[in-house]
């Protein structure tokens, strides 16, 4: 069975600085997706970034980038120039890539990020 | 214009009651999900439907019964509510490519 592990229950960063959130996963599949979701206190689940396993290039979305190490099964999220609005719970998630839309997300337990002014 | 919408957003009810949470998506997706987020914020899949057909049914008490009248709707009915059912329930959907799963805003259920 696939598992996702986030080893940092809480992290803190100073405003404008950079922080990296860690995620490791376990799977025997070769084709899958990895995601980072942000959950602010409102509890809304917001997709931050997505990585396809077959792509070697690391995904980037503005201030958010990932370090995807397929062999090591590692998928960390880097937030640059941290802003107060980045404070939230961050979830790493895995999804096997099927031929169609079937299959669910498997989540890590989350990392609570605080941003200090 | 909300892509995945759930109602109600907040629900406070007494133990033993029966309640339903409704979910609708206007994205044209063919797969929908229910996830439960417990008090420790752990998110876990409960059910998944693909074109109205149940494809994922995790270990969930049979007091929980999903119903999908069409591929745009997936409702969750809960019988005989217990204190431990208190959680945030998320509906989600994905299209054929399956490369992104979109979530509703969550339904906060409190059982007292």
Burial class (CB in 10 A: 0-12, 13-18, 19+), B73: middle
Asked if residue A77 has pLDDT above 80, the reply is yes
Looking at the structure of chain A, the number of domains it has is 1
d(CA A109, CA A57) in angstroms, rounded, equals: 26
Which residues, 6 or more positions from B81, have their beta carbon under 8 angstroms from its beta carbon? B13, B14, B15, B16, B17, B18, B19, B63, B109, B111
**Residue A96 banded pLDDT, cuts 50, 70, 90:** confident
pLDDT at A105: 87
The secondary structure of residue B84, as a DSSP letter, is G
Two tokens at A4? 């996702």
The CATH number of whichever domain residue A76 belongs to comes to: 2.60.40.10
At residue B26's C-alpha, the angle toward residues B25 and B31, to 5°, is: 50
Count of residues making up chain B: 112
CB contact (8 A) between residue B99 and residue A50: yes
Mean pLDDT of all residues in A92-111: 82
pLDDT tens digits, B78-111: 999 999 999 999 999 988 777 788 999 999 999 9
With CA atoms as reference, report the closest residue to B99 among A54, A50, A58, A82: A50
In B47-106, the residues whose Cβ lies within 8 Å of chain A are 48, 50, 55-56, 88, 90, 92, 94-103, 105-106
Among A101, A107, A111, A113, most B C-beta atoms within 10 A, so best to mutate, is A101
Domain range enclosing A66 = 3-116
pLDDT computed for residue B34 by the predictor: 95
The answer to whether B104 and B9 have CB atoms below 8 angstroms apart is no
Model confidence band, residue B53 (pLDDT cutoffs 50, 70, 90): confident
**CATH of the domain spanning B4-111:** 2.60.40.10
Neighboring chain A residues of B42 at a CB cutoff of 8 Å: 107, 109-110
* Residues forming a β-bridge with B22: B7
CB B72 within 8 A of CB B25: yes
pLDDT band at residue A101, thresholds of 50, 70 and 90? low
Separation CA A44–CA B19 (nearest Å): 22
């Amino acid at each position: 069975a696939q598992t996702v592990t986030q080893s940092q229950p809480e992290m803190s960063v100073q405003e404008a600085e950079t922080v990296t959130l860690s995620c490791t996963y376990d799977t025997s599949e070769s084709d899958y997706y990895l995601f980072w979701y942000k959950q602010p206190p409102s509890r809304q689940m917001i997709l931050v970034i997505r990585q396809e396993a077959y792509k070697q290039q690391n995904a980037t979305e503005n201030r958010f980038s990932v370090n995807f190490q397929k062999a090591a099964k590692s998928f960390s999220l880097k937030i640059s120039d941290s802003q107060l609005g980045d404070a939230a719970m961050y979830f790493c998630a895995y999804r096997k890539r099927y031929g169609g839309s079937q299959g669910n997300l498997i989540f890590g337990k989350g990392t609570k990020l605080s941003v200090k002014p | 214009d909300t892509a995945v919408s759930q109602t109600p957003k907040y629900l406070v009810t007494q133990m033993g009651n029966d309640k339903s949470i409704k979910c609708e998506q206007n994205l044209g997706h063919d797969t929908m999900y229910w996830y439960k987020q417990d008090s420790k914020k752990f998110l876990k899949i409960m059910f998944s439907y693909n074109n109205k057909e149940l494809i994922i049914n995790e270990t969930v008490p049979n007091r929980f019964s999903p119903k999908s009248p069409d591929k745009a709707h997936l409702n969750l009915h809960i019988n005989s509510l217990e204190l431990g059912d208190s959680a945030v329930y998320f509906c989600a959907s994905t299209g054929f490519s399956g490369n992104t799963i979109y979530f509703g805003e969550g339904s906060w259920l409190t059982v007292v």
